[in-house]
Amino acid sequence: MLGRGAARALGALRGVRGGAPPARSLGLSRRLLSFEKVLDKDHSLPKPCWGKDMRRLFDQFTKKCEDGSWIQLASYEQISAQRSQDFSAFIHAYFPSASEVINKEKLSQAQLFTRGFEDGMGFEYVMFYNKAEKRIVCVFQGGPHLQGMPGFFHGGATATIIDATVGMNAIVSGGIVMTANLNINFKSPIPLCSTVLINSQLDKIEGRKLFVSCKVQSIDGKILYTEATSLFIMLEPKKKKYDLKEAVLNPLPA
């Protein structure tokens, strides 16, 4: 999914706010900017369902964006490219057997898993990217529909938001990538409806492999809830029968 998720995720890079200079002037490539989402709202902006911790951290990181060292990443449910025939061609090129299952109509109805919940009930999050430090910080407030053991987040929900965060970090460096391995150590249960910080770091790139690690901590940094390491693989360029780069540089209208 992340090949497609990659496109969705890179749509996030369109969002540079808080008076920060345009992403292009920050050195982000046109390629990144080209993954534009044209539908629905940007879920990474403050909502009434955000608690005071989420809102305060949003304001703190938005402030850090003012000098251009950090970029806030917008987040949508879908990208315009997903609706185009070209995106079906992309799936066919990389995963021909999947293209027998996913038709254009299904693709147009699909939406990002983490954005499929009612406001405040599931994943509320906003990510900030520091290119120089190869870091992405995710401020995450999980809702009551993410419960596992009573009163705590489901481990799969924690894994999901980790995958989204380390995945975004891999995407901003590697483009179209997929999760090959995700290794999680659950150290302490995360109280339901709390706000936590996910700090991810791109550790190294070896050929097509990107290694990204992260920590999930309480907002005061005193509790380490979860640690994870991950491996992302850039999709094999030689298998490419379709020029995704060109498609995203010149996206079709939705």
Ligand X SMILES: CCCCCCCCCC(=O)SCCNC(=O)CCNC(=O)[C@H](O)C(C)(C)COP(=O)(O)OP(=O)(O)OC[C@H]1O[C@@H](n2cnc3c(N)ncnc32)[C@H](O)[C@@H]1OP(=O)(O)O
- Applying CB under 6 A, the residues found at the interface with ligand X are 1-2, 5, 8-9, 12, 75, 112, 163-164, 167-168, 178-181, 207-209, 231, 233, 235-236
Nearest to 12 by CA among 39, 41, 40, 33: 33
User: Is residue 68 left, alpha or beta, with left meaning phi > 0 and alpha meaning psi from -120 to 50?
Assistant: left
CB of 94 to ligand X, least distance (A): 8
Going edge to edge, which strands form the sheet with 123-130?
Answer: 71-73, 123-130, 135-142, 195-206, 209-218, 224-234, 177-186
Residues with catalytic roles: 163
- How far apart, in whole angstroms, are the C-alpha atoms of residue 118 and residue 224? 28
Q: Kindly state the smallest distance separating residue 181's Cβ from ligand X, in Å.
A: 4
Q: Which one-letter DSSP state was computed for residue 215? A: E
Closest approach, Cβ 51 to ligand X, in A, equals: 22
| Nearest distance in Å: CB 228, ligand X | 12
Beta strands in the chain (DSSP E): 71-73, 123-130, 135-142, 177-186, 195-206, 209-218, 224-234
Comparing CB distances to ligand X, the nearer of 168 and 214 is: 168
220/32 Cα distance (integer angstroms)? 33
Nearer to ligand X, 179 or 218 (CB): 179
For ligand X, the closer of residues 214 and 231 by Cβ is 231
Closest CB to ligand X among residues 178, 247:
178
